[in-house]
Structure formats: structure tokens, C-alpha cells
Homo-oligomer: A and B are copies of this chain.
Amino acid sequence: MPEAGDSVSNALVQSFGIGVRQLREAQRWSQERLAENSNLNRSYIGEIERGSVVASLVTIEKLASALQLTPSALVTRGEAISQMNLVRGIKLMAIAC
């Protein structure tokens, strides 16, 4: 089921990517290093981090394993970032109004 159309607008996909990037950078790993450790393609890692592709459950599992956390914890991180951005957006709207 192609879901390319969702990838740009979906908040969780964007936040998931930000979470992956943050965790990778916390390890001081390059995208190449994360790609090796997760058995994924380097350019695919870049696309995930930018939120331009939708990761599958298997990809989430591979990334989580490389970053030494559970798949659900990796998704939780994305949810938390998504929530923070939502709160920030509401605050900015409140300032603007």
C-alpha cells in the first residue's frame, strides 16, 4: 500500500525522523555508521531523518536495535517530539493572536 503522499504531511513521521537523528547524534554516529549498525541503506537513513519516507515496523525494529532501545521506545520518542512541536505551535499561535 503506497503511502508516499502521507510522508510529507504526517507529523509523527516527521517527529520520528527527528528522534532518529537526535539519537544518532547523541551516539556521535554518522548516517553511514547508523546504516551499517542497522543493516539499512545510508540514503534511506537520510530520508527517514528528513521524514520523506515512512518507516515500516521492520525498519523501526532495525533502527531501535542499532540505537539500543525497543521499537516502542523509538516510536514513543517520535510521539513526544510531535507533542512538543504541537505545544510550541499553540504557543506561537497564542502570541500571534
Q: Which residues of A contact B (CB under 8 A)?
A: 1, 3, 6-7, 10, 12-13, 16, 40-41, 44, 53-61, 70-73, 75-76, 78-79
Contacts and interface: CB of A to CB of B under 8 A. Distances in A.
Number of identical monomers bound together in the oligomeric complex: 2
25 contacts: A1-B41, A1-B44, A1-B53, A1-B56, A7-B58, A10-B57, A10-B61, A12-B58, A12-B61, A12-B71, A13-B57, A13-B58, A16-B57, A54-B56, A54-B57, A56-B56, A57-B60, A57-B75, A60-B75, A70-B76, A70-B79, A72-B72, A72-B75, A72-B76, A72-B79
A6 to B, nearest CB: 5
A44 B60 CA distance: 20
Nearest to A5: B58
